[in-house]
Structure formats: structure tokens, C-alpha cells
Amino acid sequence: GAGVSQTPSNKVTEKGKYVELRCDPISGHTALYWYRQSLGQGPEFLIYFQGTGAADDSGLPNDRFFAVRPEGSVSTLKIQRTERGDSAVYLCASSLGAIWGETQYFGPGTRLLVL
Amino acid sequence: QKEVEQDPGPLSVPEGAIVSLNCTYSNSAFQYFMWYRQYSRKGPELLMYTYSSGNKEDGRFTAQVDKSSKYISLFIRDSQPSDSATYLCAMSGRGTGNQFYFGTGTSLTVIP
């Protein structure tokens, strides 16, 4: 079956612009996660959804970052007034449920470059 | 201090060698320990999953967890050029949230 898909695969934008990154989880997975991976670093948690609601957004760095999952499937990560420091790979993962330690399956990521 | 520490390498070994990758952690609440493999410009792919202490073997891969030392390891036997990738340890536990905490990753190159 299909894995987690993310679009676009690459995004180049200018400082100050708005961007949207999309994640399509594995069908039937109720939990969805966003992580950010900077060069030479491991993924760092941003936000987690259980169904349509954000269950934990403690990893969002500031209020320029926002994410939605209106129908409990596809999610969009939105970044306003982008800064050069936002350049990173944004990874999405999904899991069947929200049990502690449940396996998370990752998408290929969106590479964001802010010029 | 980061919750999970991992030597970033890079590590370069000849084909057929045994590779040892390690992570240490500070949070005693971690109970679930994972190893992910990440090829260049790809997303992390789950390789091994271990709950609590002990060993788990899957083909050429063995994962070890020592909770008393807060130390986990991944061994790769008979390493192949196709094993060349970055290996990320990840962990989580009750009370730590549903997120995974990752190490920085170790870059491995297996030379034919």
C-alpha cells in the first residue's frame, strides 16, 4: 500500500513569504506528526494530531508556524513570514493510533529553502 | 544537555565488517527504542524496534538496550555497501509525549 506522501518535495521561497507544506498519511492512520530536520541533525518534533485536533503543539518554534488537519487525514503545515532559519527538511509521519511508542512511518520530506 | 546523544561520525568501514552504532540518553522514562535508517534525501525508515531492556535480532541487525546504563546499540553484521546511510536512534516513553526523541544520526559508509 501507499506510504506517507508529502508535497512539494522541494520548495524555494524568499524571506518573508508564506508557504504551505502538505502531508498525506497512510490510509487509516489516526495519528499524524510533523518534525523538522536541520542539516546534520535528527528530526525534532513540531506538532502531533490525533484525528482532527492538535493534541500536542509544544514543538512549534513560534506563532509563525501553524498546522491543520481539518478532516482527520491530510495535514498542512503553514509557515508565515518565512525566515532563512526556517530552511530545513520538514518530515511528516503517521501511526495507526496514539499509543505510546507506536511505530511512526515517515514520508520523504519537503526540503524548504528560504533565500 | 540533549535528551539523546549520538556520535555523528562519519564512520567508514570495509565491506563485511561488523558495525557498532550507539546512543545514550538521559530520560529514565524512555521505554521504546527504535533505529531508523535514512538514505540521502529520503525519509527515515524503521529498521529495529525494541521495548525496554534486552536484545532483538533481525537478519544481520541486532539491537541492544541497557536501561540501567541508559545506552542502546545497533550492530550490523557482514556490512554491505547498501547499508551506507545515516542511522538515527529514536526513543519515547510514557509521560514523554507521543513524540519520538531522535539522536543526531551517525553517517555510515561501507566501502566495497
The model's pLDDT over B49-103, given as tens digits with 9 standing for 90+, comes to 998 888 999 999 999 999 999 999 999 999 999 999 999 999 998 888 788 999 9
- B30 pLDDT above the threshold of 70: yes
3-state SS, chain B, equals CCCEEECCCCEEEECCCCEEEEEEECCCCCCEEEEEEECCCCCCEEEEEEECCEEEEECCEEEEEECCCCEEEEEECCCCHHHCEEEEEEEECCCCCCCCEECCCEEEEEEC
Whether residues B104 and A48 touch (CB distance < 8 A) is answered with no
Q: Could you tell me if A105 lies within 8 Å of chain B, comparing CB atoms?
A: yes
- The tens place of each residue's pLDDT in chain A, 115 residues long, gives 589 999 999 999 999 999 999 999 999 999 999 999 999 899 999 999 998 998 899 999 999 999 999 999 999 999 999 999 999 999 999 999 877 778 999 999 999 999 9
Whether residues A101 and B51 touch (CB distance < 8 A) is answered with yes
Whether residues A45 and B100 touch (CB distance < 8 A) is answered with yes
The predicted-structure confidence for B97-112, as pLDDT tens digits, reads as follows: 788 999 999 999 999 9
Which among A40, A48, A106 is the nearest to B98, CB-wise? A48
Q: Could you tell me if B104 lies within 8 Å of chain A, comparing CB atoms?
A: yes
The pLDDT assigned to B50 comes to 92
Question: How buried is B69 (Cβ within 10 angstroms: 0-12 exposed, 13-18 middle, 19+ buried)?
Answer: exposed
Q: Could you tell me if A31 lies within 8 Å of chain B, comparing CB atoms?
A: yes
Give the length of chain A.
Answer: 115
The pLDDT assigned to A102 comes to 85
B107 to chain A: nearest residue by CA?
A40
The pLDDT assigned to B97 comes to 79
Question: How buried is A70 (Cβ within 10 angstroms: 0-12 exposed, 13-18 middle, 19+ buried)?
Answer: exposed
Which among B32, B36, B102 is the nearest to A101, CB-wise? B32
